[in-house]
């Protein structure tokens, strides 16, 4: 239980002030969510995907801190125009690099953003009822982490309820 100093870098601050691709997308092909409002950290991704499996456009909404907003925004920028198969290969560290680096206590923001992206991709193929050979069956690192964070928050909330404090 300590408070870490958070000297956000200029790129994070810039994306916090002027996020790119912000907002709900009405004609999205697929929508995916990661995180949990209970953790104070939640992202929604909207992807518009062409028939050729190319991400035509991406947007996001984020309930979270500056790092959460910046990493979500940067992911939508990175994947615009990308083939889904290439977007799937994005590792959270490249997202952290793209925002100029993150304080260690904020790594999970980058992980959550990529987790949301991978969930969206998985959901897209589930909806289409196809399973490309490159799509790993096991959850990726980021998907596992997102799930773990959500479960932890649920567990804490339940424990609070049990103790009669919530």
Partner 1 sequence: MVENVKELLKAHEGITHEVYLDNENSTMVPKEVVDAMLPYYSQQAYGNPTLTHKPGWEAFETIMESAQKISKFLGTKILEEITFTPGETEANNLALMGAAFANKSKGKKIVISEIEPINVLHVTEMLQKFGFTTTKIPVDREGFLNLEKLKETVDKETVLASVSLVNNEIGTIQPIKEALDIVKDTNPETIFHTDASDAYGRIPLNVQDLKVDLATVSSYKILGPRGIGALYIREGVNVDKILEGQIGTQKLWPGVENTPLIVGFTKASELMFQNFEENVAHMRRLRDKLIDGIFGTISDVKLNGPKGEKRVSDNVNISFLRCEGEALTIELSLGGVYVSSGSACSRRLLQPSHVLVAIGRKFDEAHGSILMKVTRYHTDEDINYVLEKIPKAVERIRGITGSTGVE
In this chain, which of 21, 64, 75, 90 binds partner 1, going by CB under 8 A?
64
- Using rule CB under 8 A, residue 15 touches partner 1: no
Which one of 77-85, 91-99, 127-135, 152-160 is the stretch in contact with partner 1 (CB under 8 A)? 152-160
In sequence order, the 6+-apart residues with CB closer than 8 A to the CB of 152 are: 39
The Cβ of residue 37 has, within 10 Å, a number of other Cβ atoms equal to 10
Helices H, strands E: what count in the chain?
6, 3
The least distance separating partner 1 from the CB of residue 3, rounded to whole angstroms, comes to: 6
Which of the residues 91 through 120 are near partner 1 (CB under 8 A)? Answer: 105, 108
Q: Which residues pair with 22 in a beta bridge?
A: 60
Q: Are 73 and 21 in contact (CB under 8 A)?
A: yes
Q: Determine the 3-state secondary structure of 100 from DSSP.
A: coil
- Using rule CB under 8 A, residue 42 touches partner 1: yes
End-to-end CA distance of the chain: give it in Å, rounded: 21
Identify the residue whose tokens are 């260690």: 104
Which of the residues 21 through 40 are near partner 1 (CB under 8 A)? Answer: 22-24, 33, 36-40
Shorter beta-carbon distance to partner 1: residue 22 or 54: 22
Using CB under 8 A, list all residues that contact partner 1: 1-4, 6-10, 13, 16-17, 19, 22-24, 33, 36-44, 61-66, 68-69, 105, 108, 149, 152-153, 156-157, 160, 164-166
């Amino acid at each position: 239980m300590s408070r870490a100093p958070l000297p956000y870098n200029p790129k994070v601050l810039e994306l916090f002030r002027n996020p790119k691709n912000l907002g709900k997308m009405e004609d999205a092909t697929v929508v995916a969510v990661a995180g949990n409002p209970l953790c104070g950290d939640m992202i929604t991704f909207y992807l518009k995907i062409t028939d050729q499996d190319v991400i035509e456009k991406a947007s996001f909404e984020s309930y979270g801190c500056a790092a959460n907003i910046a990493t979500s925004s940067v992911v939508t920028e990175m994947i615009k125009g990308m083939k889904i198969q290439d977007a799937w290969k994005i590792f959270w560290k490249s997202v952290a690099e793209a925002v100029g680096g993150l304080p260690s206590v904020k790594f999970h923001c980058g992980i959550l953003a990529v987790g949301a992206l991978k969930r969206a991709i998985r959901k897209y193929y589930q909806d289409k009822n196809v399973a490309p050979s490159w799509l790993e069956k096991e959850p990726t690192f980021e998907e596992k982490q997102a799930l773990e964070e959500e479960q932890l928050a649920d567990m804490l909330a339940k424990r609070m309820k049990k103790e009669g404090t919530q």
